[in-house]
Amino acid sequence: MDYLTVREIAEKWNLSIRMVQQFCTQGRIPGARKFGKFWAIPADAEKPRDPRAVRRSNTQESAPGSLLDHTNLMPLMNTPFQPGQCRAAVEAMAEGPQRDIAMAEYHYFTGRPEKAVKEVEPYLVSSDMGARLSACLIYAYASLSIGEIHQAKFALGELSAVLTAAGEQSPQFQAAAAFIAAAGAVLLHLPLPKGLPANGDFLSLLPTGLRAFALYVQAHYRYLQGDYAASAGIVEGVLAMGAAVYPIPSIYLHLVAVMDYMSLKQTEQAKAHLLSAWSLARPDDLIEGFGEHHGLLGGMLEAVIKPAWPEDFKRIIDITYRFSYGWRRVHNPETGHDVADDLTTTEFAVCMLAARDWSNQSIAEHLHISIATVKRHLSNAMKKLGIPQRHELQRFMLR
């Protein structure tokens, strides 16, 4: 009989390594044998059935109304705290799922996805749906950031499955599932999941901090539709209503405003929002979002962050390379490769602006570089992309 390793089975079944190990420990994979510390699994073993399906048929755990306590649903995102007090806010939470999930959020948003992955793994199959939804979302993004693409896809699949099952559950459950599923899809520029309720149906059921982040997702969606003014309007409205006390959603709201205003060529307003985001993020090192959004910020990080905070800028760019590598492998499933992978972050920033009809002179002034340097970056990028004319850049640039 042929045997496969845990890693090979995880890739075959599109599951995490930890989940396969749990199945082995629980005796749910017939024929799996342990040799020392390692499991050997028959190559023809069948993937165990979804435990949630088993529980639904046997127990009342998933009965309507049994959920949802928002305590464990992205608790750090939903916590107001003063800049500089993020870690203290996490440590002040009660021990258990709430603090564990919050700590994973803290590690993810401060650019430490490896820790976040480990911290949420035990909650991927939790009966606490708030913790499970949060774990799936954090696990998806953190796995993507460390290049574990099959793990990221598994978690995204779990989110879709929960959303499908949510139709039978309480409105609060549906709201939580919709919020998490939308965040998972929109921010990766993937199609919205089928059956996603309209915003108006679930926003009011979310607690304030999560509602603010849901509106960031909505604003991001409008940006992707090319509706920059509407997107900016959502952001300005949410911030005006006091969302700033929730630093994590506020950072992301400000970042999408930067995207909007750069697309509208209102650079001063874009800069103001970037500095607002930075003032919220820097005291706690919440820099992940800046790396995630680099390609959409129109060179603003180069223009504003790099001159004043060069060391932080380098760390943000490291996040950008890591995140975009994983992002493309989820976003481009056919080839696993997008030729825009070959561009440096500076080339990408220049190309984004050129694709938005900025002249070489405007780009040079914005990025504080010479026109010759702009032409060098642009011509290098166009040769890498194999395009003969500037207007074809739009095919490759994120919108």
Partner 1 sequence: MEKTNRYEFDGEVLEVPLRWDEFSQQYVEDYSGVIESPIYLPSGRPVLLTIEDACPDADMADDDPSSIDCGSCRHYHQFPGSLLGVCLRSKEKTKQKDREKEEKEL
Q: How far apart are CA 250 and CA 209, in angstroms?
A: 9
Q: Among 99, 115, 315, 384, which residue sits at the site for partner 1 (rule: CB under 8 A)?
A: 384
Q: Does 360 bind partner 1 (CB under 8 A)?
A: yes
Q: Among 59, 242, 372, 395, which residue sits at the site for partner 1 (rule: CB under 8 A)?
A: 372
Q: Does 375 bind partner 1 (CB under 8 A)?
A: yes
Contacts of 325 (CB under 8 A, 6+ apart): 147, 341
* x-or-dash string of contact with partner 1, 272-311, rule CB under 8 A: ----------------------------------------
Query: Minimum distance between the CB of residue 370 and partner 1, rounded to whole angstroms?
Result: 10
Question: Residue 17, class by beta-carbon neighbours within 10 Å (0-12 exposed, 13-18 middle, 19+ buried)?
Answer: middle
Token look-up 């127990």 returns 59
Query: Minimum distance between the CB of residue 256 and partner 1, rounded to whole angstroms?
Result: 24
Query: Minimum distance between the CB of residue 360 and partner 1, rounded to whole angstroms?
Result: 5
Among 193, 280, 275, 202, which residue's Cα sits nearest to residue 243?
280
Report the alpha-carbon angle 107-108-110, nearest 5: 65
Q: Which of 243/382 has CB closer to partner 1?
A: 382
Q: Which of 236/341 has CB closer to partner 1?
A: 341
Which listed range, 20-28, 157-165, 220-228, 355-363, lies at the site for partner 1 (CB under 8 A)?
Answer: 355-363
Q: Does 7 bind partner 1 (CB under 8 A)?
A: no
Number of residues that bind partner 1 (CB under 8 A): 18
Q: Among 57, 60, 335, 389, which residue sits at the site for partner 1 (rule: CB under 8 A)?
A: 389
Q: Does 15 bind partner 1 (CB under 8 A)?
A: no
Q: How far apart are CA 261 and CA 258, in angstroms?
A: 5
The residue type of 115 is K
Which listed range, 53-61, 173-181, 264-272, 376-384, lies at the site for partner 1 (CB under 8 A)?
Answer: 376-384
Query: Minimum distance between the CB of residue 267 and partner 1, rounded to whole angstroms?
Result: 17
Token pair for residue 99? 């603090």
Complete DSSP assignment for 276-330: HHHHHHGGGT--HHHHHHGGGTTTHIIIIIHHH-HHHHHHHHHHHHHHHHHHHHH
Strand partners, 3: 42
Phi/psi at 38 (nearest 5 deg)? Answer: -110, 145
Contact 319, 119 (CB under 8 A): no
Q: How far apart are CA 179 and CA 205, in angstroms?
A: 10
Token pair for residue 247? 């630093």
Q: Among 206, 232, 248, 378, which residue sits at the site for partner 1 (rule: CB under 8 A)?
A: 378
Which listed range, 11-19, 68-76, 155-163, 369-377, lies at the site for partner 1 (CB under 8 A)?
Answer: 369-377
Q: Where are the beta strands (DSSP E) in 45-202?
A: none
Q: Does 342 bind partner 1 (CB under 8 A)?
A: yes
Q: How far apart are CA 144 and CA 165, in angstroms?
A: 25
Q: Among 314, 359, 368, 395, which residue sits at the site for partner 1 (rule: CB under 8 A)?
A: 359
Q: Does 388 bind partner 1 (CB under 8 A)?
A: yes
Q: Does 174 bind partner 1 (CB under 8 A)?
A: no
Greatest C-alpha distance within the chain: 70
Q: Does 382 bind partner 1 (CB under 8 A)?
A: yes
Restricted to residues 74-133, the positions that interact with partner 1 (CB under 8 A) are none
Query: Minimum distance between the CB of residue 354 and partner 1, rounded to whole angstroms?
Result: 7
Q: Does 159 bind partner 1 (CB under 8 A)?
A: no
Which listed range, 164-172, 193-201, 298-306, 381-389, lies at the site for partner 1 (CB under 8 A)?
Answer: 381-389
- Phi-psi domain of 84 (left: phi exceeds 0; alpha: psi -120 through 50; beta: other): left
Q: Which of 58/389 has CB closer to partner 1?
A: 389
Evaluated on CA atoms 3, 5, 10, 11, the torsion sign reads: negative
Query: Minimum distance between the CB of residue 358 and partner 1, rounded to whole angstroms?
Result: 8
Token look-up 């998490």 returns 180
Query: Minimum distance between the CB of residue 347 and partner 1, rounded to whole angstroms?
Result: 11
Q: Does 335 bind partner 1 (CB under 8 A)?
A: no
Token look-up 């194999």 returns 386
Q: Does 271 bind partner 1 (CB under 8 A)?
A: no
Q: How far apart are CA 117 and CA 115, in angstroms?
A: 5
The residue type of 369 is I
**Residues contributing to the site for partner 1 (CB under 8 A):** 342, 354, 357, 359-361, 372, 375-376, 378-379, 382-384, 388-391
